[in-house]
Amino acid sequence: MRCLIALTGLLVVVASPALADPCKAISDSGRLPPWLKPGTAFSGTVRYVGDGDSLCVGASPDPAKWVEVRIEDFDAPELNDPGGREAKAALARIAMGRRVSCRAAHRSYDRMVATCWLDGVSLGERMRRAGIVEGGR
């Protein structure tokens, strides 16, 4: 990530640290934890929103049990595509800091594809109700 600072007509680019992925329950390689098999339910507080269809669910206070989730029932535009940043902001408004319940579907790399609900309504449905248009790749 870079910060741009304008100083009397001079543009200065300052490097800033990238935010590390806080979700560590599923490693890039290796087995799924036994408590996170496809079909199982898990719940926790949304700790981080990566984009319009991915988030981090803190299934425990221990960050080693924070699960990166790809929302199964909503396909948001990529961050740099039209509508991508708006989708991320909407998901953050809807879910950040709130407790969600999820059902694991399958693994995709170092994340779990899952349907997650907030107060009985899926996050995908909440995104559609917020007017966010689907359009991922």
Give the tens place of pLDDT for each residue, 11-44: 333 333 345 567 777 877 667 888 888 999 999 9
Q: What is the dihedral of CA 49, 51, 74, 118, to 10 degrees?
A: 10
Q: Residue 18, CB half-sphere, CA atoms under 13 Å: how many?
A: 4
> What is the pLDDT, as a whole number, of residue 92?
97
Query: Residue 31 has what pLDDT?
Result: 76
Best CA proximity match to 55, nearest among 87, 95, 93: 95
Quote the pTM value. Answer: 0.80
How much is the mean pLDDT over the chain? Answer: 84
Neighbours of 64 (CB within 10 A): 10
Rounded Cα distance between 23 and 8, Å, is 41
Q: Which two tokens stand for residue 86?
A: 């708006």
Domains and CATH numbers, the chain: 21-129 (2.40.50.90)
pLDDT in tens, 80-128: 999 999 999 999 999 999 999 999 999 888 889 999 999 999 999 999 9
